[in-house]
């Protein structure tokens, strides 16, 4: 069908007479009639009604075909999205399982190390061996007063890995909060205060440390509250770097001591 023939069919389907079609297309009525004759010859339809019916049937079939194809495409996209969703769910489950296993291993190691630290601290001449364990394990250890201003009483040489000297905290009075990522400090400190006020004797926390040059480390620590009869209460803390274990086990449910 020629483009002109299709135009005439569409105008006729809209209710226009041959004269109105001729005026719309700026052609003569005779030309319009000539197009009708050629359309009947090409299609085998005997009259205008048959031509219009055939055109509408073809348009309907094409529309249905297009709709069927679009529906099939949409269903394929939905199926693909469902497969991707299931793959993501499975990967998330694997990551969570791995995170739980890593966290359990880490906490077991932390408990063993903490028990060994306590044993050496109570033993005679255990100080040198204790320092060796801290340095060998790449652990940051410190002790500070429980009450404000939380004066630092001890900090291990491993703080140098963060770009600081122990003397900056022990003699110069640099607050331990300097080591904590500023985005973590408020939440972690607030939760620590709540636990301490509730009488907690031990805190297990996760947060980020930030070095002097801006490097960020994900860490987990264990704090033990010491309340000697002959002196002020203090907090002994051992901080473990877990950056290498991935961010999956790093969650935001931790407090922080300043």
Largest CA distance in the chain: 121
Residues 254, 191 contacting (CB under 8 angstroms): yes
How many angstroms separate the CA atoms of 88 and 97, rounded? Answer: 14
Cβ-count burial of 159 within 10 angstroms (0-12 exposed, 13-18 middle, 19+ buried)? buried
**79-106 burial string, b = 16+ CB within 10 Å, else e?**
eeeeeeeeeeeeeeeeeeeebeeebeee
- The domains found in the chain, sorted by start residue, are 125-249 (3.30.450.20)
Share of the chain above pLDDT 70, in %: 82
Angle subtended by helix axes 3-13 and 48-122, to nearest 10: 90
Residues 6+ apart with CB under 8 A from 35: 2, 4, 5, 8
Per the structure block, which two tokens stand in for 149?
A: 């201003």
Grade residue 110 by pLDDT with cuts at 50, 70 and 90.
Answer: low
Residues 7, 25 contacting (CB under 8 angstroms): yes
Helices (H), the chain: 3-13, 18-25, 29-43, 48-122, 127-136, 166-170, 182-197
Asked if residue 69 has a cis previous peptide bond (ω within 30° of 0), the answer is no
- 11 pLDDT exceeds 50? yes
Q: What is the pLDDT of residue 69?
A: 92
- 136 pLDDT exceeds 60? no
Higher pLDDT, 120 or 179: 179
- 83 pLDDT exceeds 80? yes
Residues 257, 192 contacting (CB under 8 angstroms): yes
Q: Considering the chain, what is the average pLDDT of its residues? A: 81
Higher pLDDT, 63 or 258: 63
How many angstroms separate the CA atoms of 41 and 18, rounded? Answer: 18
Residues 187, 252 contacting (CB under 8 angstroms): yes
Grade residue 179 by pLDDT with cuts at 50, 70 and 90.
Answer: very high
Q: Among the listed ranges 29-33, 78-82, 147-151, which one has the minimum average pLDDT value? A: 147-151
Q: What is the pLDDT of residue 194?
A: 87
CA distances from 160 to 82, 179, 182 (A): 50, 11, 20
> Looking at residues 175-201, what average pLDDT do you find?
88
- 128 pLDDT exceeds 60? no
Q: What is the pLDDT of residue 249?
A: 45
Q: What is the pLDDT of residue 252?
A: 41
pTM, to two decimals = 0.50
């Amino acid at each position: 069908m020629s483009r002109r023939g299709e135009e005439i069919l569409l105008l006729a389907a809209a209710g226009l007479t041959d004269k109105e079609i001729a005026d719309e297309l700026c052609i003569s009525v005779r030309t319009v009639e000539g197009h009708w004759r050629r359309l009947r010859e090409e299609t085998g339809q005997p009259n205008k009604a048959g031509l219009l019916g055939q055109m509408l049937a073809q348009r309907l079939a094409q529309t249905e075909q297009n709709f069927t194809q679009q529906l099939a495409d949409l269903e394929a996209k939905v199926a693909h999205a469902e497969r991707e969703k299931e793959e993501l769910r499975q990967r998330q489950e694997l990551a969570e399982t791995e995170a739980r296993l890593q966290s359990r291993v880490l906490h077991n190691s932390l408990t063993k190390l903490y028990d060994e630290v306590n044993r050496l601290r109570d033993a005679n001449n255990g100080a040198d061996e204790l320092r060796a364990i801290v340095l060998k394990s790449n652990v940051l250890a410190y002790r500070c007063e429980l009450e404000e201003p939380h004066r630092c009483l001890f900090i291990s040489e491993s703080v140098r890995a963060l770009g600081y000297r122990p003397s900056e905290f022990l003699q110069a009075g640099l607050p331990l909060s300097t080591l904590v990522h500023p985005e973590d400090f408020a939440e972690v400190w607030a939760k620590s205060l709540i636990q301490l006020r509730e009488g907690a004797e031990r805190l297990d926390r996760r947060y980020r440390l930030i070095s002097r040059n801006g490097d960020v480390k994900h860490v987990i620590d264990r704090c033990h509250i010491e309340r000697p009869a002959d002196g002020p209460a203090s907090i002994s803390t051992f901080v473990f770097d877990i950056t290498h274990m991935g961010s999956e086990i790093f969650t935001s449910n931790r407090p922080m001591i300043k």
